[in-house]
């Protein structure tokens, strides 16, 4: 597990010959092993933050570190799970999961038991020899997550990983992710548009405002999750708890009061359903 630190990080892009400020100075510390969700309006810089941690983008100013080392590009200590599963359609589930290890030069004989272990953890044993097109969306996302976890990353970066799933499958994947991060702890940075998903999964929820993007408030959820044992209950039971309702309402009110940009565009489009 690794700790992440943003220190006065900004990001500016060139747009139509002029500078577009995507992120105002952002400072945020994520301790090792913490699960942090980021919510905010479209265009507030959520994905930009995640891409910078992944090393796929770089700050315009400020310092971004993982384990006190400045991020200057992708690395094996970080893995990304996107909304689109990006599986290799000509490879089986087993081959997709082991692909990253093969790229690292590991021998097939060494890869096989690790893939078998991952198949078991993600409950994919019955589909090991299936191809992506033969799987449901939820199963494909399980494969994508397994492909990341098998690499033993210290940091797991998830950009709306369940956004393309139906409501029932999304809830199942939320519970699966909770189980997985308990059995194999990681530092997790999770982007979502769902208030309920953020409240259910995260230790802390970072609420962003835009545009340009900035941190509006950070809501601590961990103490409630521990005291009321959210992780040991099905999603539907957690959502009936008064404490969960208060957190959800607080997040929703913060998002509803996000300022509109100068052009009047409505950026307060969020989901309060899983």
pLDDT at residue 179 is higher than 50: yes
Average pLDDT, the chain: 85
- What confidence category does residue 163 fall into, taking pLDDT thresholds of 50, 70 and 90? confident
Please indicate, yes or no, if residue 133 is contained in any of the structural domains. yes
pLDDT at residue 61 is higher than 70: yes
Q: What would the mean pLDDT of 222-242 be, rounded to a whole number?
A: 78
Among 1, 29, 35, 9, which residue's Cα sits nearest to residue 221? Answer: 35
Q: What would the mean pLDDT of 199-208 be, rounded to a whole number?
A: 93
Q: Lowest mean pLDDT: which of 24-38, 129-143, 163-177?
A: 163-177
Please give the residue range of the domain that contains residue 103.
Answer: 86-152
Q: What is the pTM assigned to this prediction?
A: 0.85
d(CA 115, CA 110): 9
Please indicate, yes or no, if residue 97 is contained in any of the structural domains. yes
Q: What would the mean pLDDT of 200-210 be, rounded to a whole number?
A: 92
Q: What would the mean pLDDT of 41-59 be, rounded to a whole number?
A: 92
Residue 1 has what pLDDT? Answer: 62
- What confidence category does residue 121 fall into, taking pLDDT thresholds of 50, 70 and 90? confident
Residue 231 has what pLDDT? Answer: 67
Q: Lowest mean pLDDT: which of 18-22, 89-93, 155-159, 256-260?
A: 256-260
Please indicate, yes or no, if residue 92 is contained in any of the structural domains. yes
Residue 48 has what pLDDT? Answer: 93
Q: What would the mean pLDDT of 84-112 be, rounded to a whole number?
A: 89
Please indicate, yes or no, if residue 9 is contained in any of the structural domains. no
Please indicate, yes or no, if residue 137 is contained in any of the structural domains. yes
Please indicate, yes or no, if residue 124 is contained in any of the structural domains. yes
Q: What would the mean pLDDT of 193-221 be, rounded to a whole number?
A: 91
Q: Are strands 18-30 and 4-15 parallel, antiparallel or unpaired?
A: antiparallel
pLDDT at residue 15 is higher than 60: yes
∠103-105-110 over CA atoms, to 5°?
A: 110
d(CA 92, CA 97): 9
Please indicate, yes or no, if residue 136 is contained in any of the structural domains. yes
What contacts 55, CB < 8 A, 6 or more positions away?
A: 71, 72, 73, 74, 75, 78
pLDDT at residue 268 is higher than 60: no
Number of domains in the chain: 1
Please indicate, yes or no, if residue 223 is contained in any of the structural domains. no
């Amino acid at each position: 597990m690794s700790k992440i630190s943003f220190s006065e990080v900004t990001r500016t892009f060139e747009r139509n010959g002029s500078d577009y400020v995507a992120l105002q100075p952002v400072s945020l510390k994520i301790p090792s092993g913490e699960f942090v969700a980021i919510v905010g309006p479209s265009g507030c810089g959520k994905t930009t933050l995640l891409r910078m941690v992944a090393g796929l983008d770089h700050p315009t100013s400020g310092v971004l570190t993982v384990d006190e080392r400045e991020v200057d590009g992708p690395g094996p200590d970080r893995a990304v799970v996107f909304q689109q599963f990006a599986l290799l359609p000509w490879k089986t589930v087993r081959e997709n999961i082991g692909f990253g290890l093969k790229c690292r030069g590991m021998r097939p004989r060494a890869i096989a038991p690790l893939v078998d272990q991952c198949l078991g953890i993600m409950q994919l044993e019955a589909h090991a020899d299936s191809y992506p097109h033969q799987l449901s969306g939820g199963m494909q996302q399980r494969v994508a997550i397994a492909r990341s976890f098998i690499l033993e990353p210290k940091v797991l970066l998830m950009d709306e990983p369940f956004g393309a799933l139906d409501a029932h499958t999304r809830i199942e994947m939320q519970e699966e992710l909770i189980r997985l991060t308990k059995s194999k702890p990681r530092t997790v940075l999770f982007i979502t548009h769902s208030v309920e998903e953020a409240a259910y999964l995260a230790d802390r929820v970072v609420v962003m405002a835009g545009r340009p993007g900035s941190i509006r408030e950070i809501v601590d959820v961990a103490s409630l999750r521990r005291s009321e044992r959210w992780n040991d209950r099905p999603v539907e039971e957690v959502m009936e708890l008064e404490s969960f309702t208060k957190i959800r309402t607080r997040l929703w009110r913060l998002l509803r009061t996000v300022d509109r940009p100068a052009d009047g565009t409505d950026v307060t489009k969020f989901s309060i359903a899983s």
